[in-house]
Structure 1
Amino acid sequence: MKPFAFLSDFDGTLSQRDFYHLMIDRFFPEWGNQFYQDWKKTKKINVEFLNIIFGKLNLTEEQLLDEIRKIPLTPGAIEFVNEVQARGGDFYIVSAGTSWYIERLLQVLEIPNVTVISMPAVHENGALRIAPDTANPFFSEVFGLDKRKVLEDIRGRYRTVLFAGDSEPDLEAAKAADIAFARGELRELLKRDGVSHVPVDDYHAISGYLNNNGWPE
């Protein structure tokens, strides 16, 4: 059994902002931000929402890759991935977005040996369409991917499992982790549910916490 795995959400956690927010701000800020506010009043941010946003894009694959290259990472992210691996851990990205843009960004940044567990997507007619695999054992009717199921599956291969996230799709996985690091609204959700967690703003803070309190062995 390996010593530990670190599971990180991508959008809004490993990256500073969700890719859909970046696309809204870049291409249709007025409509997109109003649509987002209206959607949040009654629904969760899910695959249907993402496909509406990404379906508004009209970009060639190369233009879309240019946008992906601009995704800003949270401070300390790359250094932290390297630190996890140097200490004998494995780093996973677990995302209810799509591996289409995550894996391409990892290639651009030359970040090796990171396992991405997410949903497939296709680029067609200028748009990006997420296509969840309903036969996948980690499939979720709500978010497309059940991160808690992913974490519990991974747990069988590691002595310790750590998790970092920022929003509602991360909630159940954070509850199941040995240590949960929380950004954004995930902090309030965990606090509401009485779940112990470590509030952080970036990966420097996560590294600092583990340096002070001990890395899993």
Structure 2
Amino acid sequence: MPDAVLVSDFDGTMTAEDFYSLAVKRLLPAEALGPWKAYLAGRMTHFNALRTIFSRIRAPEADVLAVIDAMGLDPKLPDALTRLRAAGWEVVVASAGCAWYIDRLLDTAGVCLEVHANPGVYLPGGPLVMEAPPPSPFTCEETGVDKAAVVRDALARARAVAFAGDGLADLPAALLVPDGRRFARGDLAEALTRCGRPFRTFAAWSDIAAMLLDAGGAS
């Protein structure tokens, strides 16, 4: 069993940009964000909003891979992971996005991580087909991957648990960890502020590793 676990969102947390928003900017008309607006208004699940946006992509795979590259995976990620693991931290990715592009970015960086994400495949010429993961303790209808369930699992098997995220869908998971191990930016930071719950900010994912290590490793 690990001494400590950091559960991390991927899009906008390990990367600078979300895949869905970059795909709309580069490959789709502005109105393609309609499903996302429906999600924010409570008329569509997070999973169905992303799946619908992805289903509208029609482009050569090379163009989509360029979008993935532009997401900006933290270049210091490999070194940060090495230092975290040496201090007793296990890192788990819990994403409501698609494993198709997450796995590509991590493979390119030479990083091996446990990843909970929605499976998918890019068909020739498009679209990106994202499916719900098979039923498990870590799945749910709203996001496909139940991030809060991943955190609860970590809490059951480790002495220290941290969470990092940037989106509204990260809020239930973020609220499960102690204040000093809650890392947020973007929409998650705004939601936590509205709830009156403390959090630590970060500019890049590697900043989170530095803060956890400065706090004394897995202690």
| Bin of the TM-score, shorter chain as denominator length | 0.7 to 0.9
Q: In structure 2, what is the equivalent of residue 54 of structure 1?
A: 54
Among the aligned pairs, what percent are the same residue?
31
* Structure 1 residue 60: Cα displacement: 4.2
Q: In structure 2, what is the equivalent of residue 106 of structure 1?
A: 106
Q: Deviations over 1:22-61 (max 9, x none)?
A: 1011112433356645653444661111122111111344
- Residues 164 and 174 of structure 2 are in contact (CA less than 8 Å); yes or no, is this contact kept in structure 1? yes
Instruction: List alignment gaps of at least 5 residues for structure 1.
Output: none
CA distance in 1, matches of 2:121, 2:189: 33
1:34-45 superposed matches below 5 A: 36-37=36-37, 40-43=40-43
1:1-217 superposed matches below 5 A: 1-33=1-33, 36-37=36-37, 40-43=40-43, 46-74=46-74, 76-112=76-112, 114-124=113-123, 126-133=126-133, 135-178=135-178, 179-217=181-219
Residue 136 of structure 1 aligns to a residue whose secondary structure is: coil
* Structure 1 residue 162: Cα displacement: 1.0
Residue 96 of structure 2 aligns to a residue whose secondary structure is: coil
* Structure 1 residue 201: Cα displacement: 2.3
Instruction: List alignment gaps of at least 5 residues for structure 2.
Output: none
Report the aligned-residue RMSD. 2.4
CA distance in 2, matches of 1:204, 1:2: 20
Label 1:183 to 1:44 Cα distance change in 2 as closer, same or farther (>3 A): farther
CA distance in 2, matches of 1:181, 1:10: 13
Label 1:75 to 1:190 Cα distance change in 2 as closer, same or farther (>3 A): farther
Residue 97 of structure 1 aligns to a residue whose secondary structure is: strand
Partner AA of 2:5 in structure 1: A
* Structure 1 residue 13: Cα displacement: 0.7
Q: How many pairs are equivalent?
A: 216
* Structure 1 residue 10: Cα displacement: 0.4
TM-score of the aligned structures, taking structure 2 as reference length = 0.86
Label 1:80 to 1:24 Cα distance change in 2 as closer, same or farther (>3 A): same
CA distance in 2, matches of 1:12, 1:137: 25
Partner AA of 1:23 in structure 2: A
